[in-house]
């Protein structure tokens, strides 16, 4: 039940989807997201589980129904299942998902499922250790695969695998990933490389776009047929293979921006509200949470952020400036 007016921005977009970053820390160092050498923020700056619970509770009254936990790597934060259980008890929250790199999932999958986590997106850019190392600057592909299968055994259905597509690097991974997803009955989504790397080295020509990836998959596995959109705000355009085995989604924020249907807002690990991945402005919820503010004050802060939301991310516009934060500091 929505107790306050819903979170509608100046373009009529109603916000029902909250992404919560629980940490900026990560156990790998993907070049598209983080610097090689990184100084993480002090733990005292990071919102406690109780602070996150309160914030999510206020937003549920503003019509937020879906939550995704992200980071950094959410599973490096101790006892994440405790947070999941707290969020699962909030009235109005009907879907709790998490995006993870899967490295710690083998140990955690059952506890997360039991705590009330509904869905999992697991990042898997390729199936070769060589590509894994080139991207993450660490080892660990076999642990990720262990985590994926442990999640299946724990009862997570429709596991989504997220693969970032980068020209000159991930082409060799596309067919193996397609075969893997088909074989193991998982949804595979290719995401275009966005200008959110910490090193500021992103170049347009590194974006291996969804249309190209689609052509490669069709050449190997046969035609892809568009699936009906079940949710207008979903970032992916989904297809199924004409032979009936498996489905593939394309998240094309660079070549086909989907901002017009965006229903998402974010809170960073230290409690800054962001109305867009690419926003240059933030609203400090932590100051309110730690300063004795009322629920109405917190609601007003979020309303202010939503009211300031721009029509689009602007990557495609002249003069685009990437945000000062990199992806790991925002929460993907």
Applying CB under 6 A, the residues found at the interface with ligand SAM are 26, 32-33, 70-71, 73, 99-101, 123, 162, 164, 191, 193-194, 196-197, 327-328, 332
- Nearest-Å Rg of the Cα atoms of the chain is 19
Q: Which is nearer to ligand SAM, 23 or 263 (CB)?
A: 23
Residues 24 and 289: their CA atoms lie apart, in Å, by 19
Enumerate residues 6+ apart whose C-beta is below 8 A from 154.
Answer: 109, 110, 112, 113
Please, is 258 exposed, middle or buried when counting C-beta atoms within 10 Å of its C-beta (0-12, 13-18, 19+)?
middle
Enumerate residues 6+ apart whose C-beta is below 8 A from 107.
Answer: 150
Least distance in Å: CB of 105 to ligand SAM?
10
Residue whose beta carbon is closest to ligand SAM: 332
Q: Which is nearer to ligand SAM, 305 or 329 (CB)?
A: 329
Residues 127 and 48: their CA atoms lie apart, in Å, by 35
Describe the crossing of helices 80-88 and 49-61 by its angle, rounded to 10 degrees. Answer: 20
Q: Which is nearer to ligand SAM, 9 or 250 (CB)?
A: 250
**Of residues 156, 168, 83, 161, the one with CA closest to residue 113:** 156
Q: Which is nearer to ligand SAM, 9 or 24 (CB)?
A: 24
Q: Which is nearer to ligand SAM, 16 or 329 (CB)?
A: 329
Least distance in Å: CB of 20 to ligand SAM?
11
Which is it for strands 283-284 and 272-274: parallel, antiparallel or unpaired?
antiparallel
């Amino acid at each position: 039940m929505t107790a306050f007016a819903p979170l509608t921005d100046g373009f009529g977009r109603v916000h029902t989807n909250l992404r919560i970053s629980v940490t900026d820390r990560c156990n790998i160092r993907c070049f598209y997201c983080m610097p090689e050498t990184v100084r993480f923020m002090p733990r005292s700056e990071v919102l406690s589980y109780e602070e996150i619970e309160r914030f999510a509770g206020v937003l549920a009254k503003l019509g937020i129904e879906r939550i995704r936990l992200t980071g950094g790597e959410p599973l490096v934060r101790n006892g994440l299942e405790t947070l999941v259980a707290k969020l699962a008890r909030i009235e109005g929250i009907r879907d709790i998902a998490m995006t993870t790199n899967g490295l710690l999932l083998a140990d955690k999958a059952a506890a997360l499922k039991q705590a009330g986590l509904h869905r999992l997106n697991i990042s898997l850019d390729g199936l070769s250790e060589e590509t894994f190392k080139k991207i993450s600057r660490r080892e660990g592909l076999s642990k990720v695969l262990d985590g994926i299968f442990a999640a299946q055994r724990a009862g997570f259905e429709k596991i989504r695998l997220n693969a970032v597509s980068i020209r000159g690097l991930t082409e060799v991974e596309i067919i193996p990933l397609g075969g893997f997803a088909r074989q193991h009955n998982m949804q595979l989504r290719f995401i275009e490389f966005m200008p959110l790397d910490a090193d500021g080295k992103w170049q347009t020509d590194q974006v291996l776009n969804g249309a190209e990836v689609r052509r490669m998959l069709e050449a190997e596995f046969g035609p892809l047929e568009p699936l009906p959109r079940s949710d207008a705000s979903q970032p992916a355009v989904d297809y199924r293979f004409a032979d009936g085995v498996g489905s593939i989604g394309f998240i094309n924020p660079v070549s086909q921006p989907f901002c017009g249907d965006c229903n998402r807002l974010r809170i960073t690990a230290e409690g800054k509200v962001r109305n867009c991945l690419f926003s240059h402005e933030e609203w400090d919820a932590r100051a309110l949470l730690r300063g004795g503010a009322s629920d109405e004050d917190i609601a007003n802060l979020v309303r202010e952020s939503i009211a300031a939301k721009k029509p689009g991310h602007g990557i495609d516009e002249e003069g685009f400036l990437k945000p000062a934060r990199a992806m790991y500091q925002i929460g993907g």
